[in-house]
Amino acid sequence: MLAHIIRRILLLFPTLLGISIIIFLMMHITPGDPAELLLGERATEPALEALREHLGLNEPLYVQYGMFLKRLMKGDLGETIWTRQKVWIEVKQRFPATIELSIAAMLISSVLGVILGIISATKQYSLFDYLSMLGALVGVSMPIFWLGLVLMLIFSLNLGWFPMSGRLSVGIDLDPITNFYILDALLTKNWPAFKDALWHLTLPAFTLSTIPMAIVARMTRSSMLEVLRQDYIKTARAKGLSPGIVVMKHALRNALIPVITVIGLMFGILMAGAILTETIFAWPGVGKWLYDAVLQRDYMVIQGGTLFVAAIFVIINLVVDILYAVINPKISVH
């Protein structure tokens, strides 16, 4: 087991190297020039040339990549082209916002998804089953952009239950420590800020959770149905155990294995959804930041930012694999 974990961690490095090469090549194959975009209509040839020279864009590609790697070895992700700031600092400022949003969305989608899935499976072909699976279908196909706006219209503008956008209301002060606002509010025992941050989080997190929630619900349902047909479940029932214990203790543990894989991979879906959610809800996270960087051809942000996000993704998958073994000792790791 330990050997497996170490092997997986060592595999991280070639994986990330591969990712960085692919990102680097993709970026430079795509047409566009950050110098041109920075200067816009007023660009003159001397100004462009000076800027390109300054940014090192005139160097051959392998030299540019080499410089990136060299910096990376020293733990430096480089400096952004547009904002002239260390990429690492820019990531640090925004990543907590995205993680806060993703964790909240993940919590909502896994808890609600699993509950919906269990009920649907145990009450197969009931009205609840039909309704929740229809809901899941709608959830999976709903455009996040549209859903976010509609939720905002109903719950913020008309009902006034939730704030519309941003992470904190104007007038609420919070000393950032970790930049996870909810955590920071807890640490500083700032209850108004805690409540406010939590309330700002609700709508975007729910919006972001719909697609994964639908996937989790459907996965739980089908995997549960399969498990419920197994002989050992019949045995358990024949023993006279209550249906609740059979479902929660005997069936669920086995049924959850594929669901956990999906939840682990969900981070990718969440990151993709975060771009739209962050845009609509003015949530200052990495999703929108990376998207803008692609439009602005900020190579340094794209290189550094995506590499960072990819690393997190790979690590989460590793953690999921380990959880796998913990949840079901039958699965031995080779």
Partner 1 sequence: MIRKVGLILCGLILMFAVTACEKKEPEKKTEEPAPTATKEGGTLVFGRGGDSVGLDPAYETDGNSFMICDNIYEALIFYQDESTALEPGLAESWDISPDGKTYTFYLRKGVKFHDGTPFNADAVVFSIGRMMKERKLKFFSMEWDVPPQERPPEYWVSMEMDDTVDSIEAVDDYTVVFKLKRVDAPFLANMGMDFADIISPTAFMNNPKEFLRNPVGTGPFKFVEWVKDDKIVLEKNENYWDTSGGPYLDKLIFRTIPENSVRFLELKAGNIHICQFPNPADIPLAKEDPNLKLVSQPGMNIGYLSFNYTKSLWQNIHMRRAIAFAINRQAIVDNIYQGMGQVAKNPIPPTMWGYNDKIEDFPYDPEKAKLELAEGGYPGGADLPEITLWSMPVPRPYNPEGLKVGVAMISDLAKVGIRAKIVSYDWGTYLKRQREQPKDMDLFQLGWTGDNGDPDNFLAVLFDGLASPAIRTQWKNEEYHKLMLEGKQTIDQAKRAEIYMRALQVFHDEVAAICVAHSTVIWPMRNNVMNFKLHPTASVRMKNVRLE
Tell which positions 2-31 bind partner 1, by CB under 8 A. 30-31
- From 13-21, 116-124, 302-310, 314-322, give the range in contact with partner 1 by CB under 8 A: 116-124
Pinpoint the alpha helices (H) of 74-158.
87-122, 127-141, 144-151
Q: Is 279 in the site for partner 1 (CB under 8 A)?
A: yes
Closest CB to partner 1 among 23 and 251? 251
Q: Which of 41, 75, 189, 330 binds partner 1 (CB under 8 A)?
A: 41
DSSP 3-state assignment of 79? strand
Q: Which of 46, 60, 75, 240 binds partner 1 (CB under 8 A)?
A: 46
Q: Is 230 in the site for partner 1 (CB under 8 A)?
A: no
Q: Is 150 in the site for partner 1 (CB under 8 A)?
A: no
The residue among 70, 16, 18, 72 whose CA lies nearest residue 312 is 16
Q: Is 242 in the site for partner 1 (CB under 8 A)?
A: yes
Residue 209 to residue 202: CA distance in whole angstroms: 10
- Which helix (DSSP H) or strand (DSSP E) does residue 278 occupy? helix 252-280
Q: Which of 16, 72, 140, 149 binds partner 1 (CB under 8 A)?
A: 149
Ramachandran area for residue 156 (φ above 0: left; ψ -120 to 50: alpha; else beta): alpha
Q: Is 196 in the site for partner 1 (CB under 8 A)?
A: yes
- From 15-23, 88-96, 218-226, 254-262, give the range in contact with partner 1 by CB under 8 A: 88-96
Closest CB to partner 1 among 17 and 272? 272
- Least distance to partner 1, CB of residue 247, Å: 6
Determine how many CB atoms are found less than 10 A away from the CB of residue 243: 10
Q: Which of 288, 302, 305, 306 binds partner 1 (CB under 8 A)?
A: 288
Whats the size of the chain, residue-wise? 334
Residue pair 113/217 in contact (Cβ under 8 Å)? The answer is yes
Q: Which of 60, 75, 244, 329 binds partner 1 (CB under 8 A)?
A: 244
Q: Is 164 in the site for partner 1 (CB under 8 A)?
A: yes
- Least distance to partner 1, CB of residue 115, Å: 6
Site size with partner 1, rule: CB under 8 A: 71
Q: Is 301 in the site for partner 1 (CB under 8 A)?
A: no
Q: Which of 124, 199, 258, 317 binds partner 1 (CB under 8 A)?
A: 199
DSSP for 181-247 reads HHHHHHHTT-HHHHHHHHHHHHHHHHHHHHHHHHHHHHHHHHHHHHHHTSHHHHHHHHTT--HHHII
- From 14-22, 61-69, 85-93, 317-325, give the range in contact with partner 1 by CB under 8 A: 85-93
Residue 217 to residue 137: CA distance in whole angstroms: 10
Closest CB to partner 1 among 118 and 309? 118
| DSSP percent split of the chain into helix, strand, coil, nearest 5 | 75, 0, 20
b/e code 109-133 from CB counts within 10 Å (16+ = b): bbebbbebbbbbbbeeeeeebeebb
- From 111-119, 223-231, 232-240, 300-308, give the range in contact with partner 1 by CB under 8 A: 111-119
Q: Which of 5, 16, 19, 38 binds partner 1 (CB under 8 A)?
A: 38
Q: Is 88 in the site for partner 1 (CB under 8 A)?
A: no
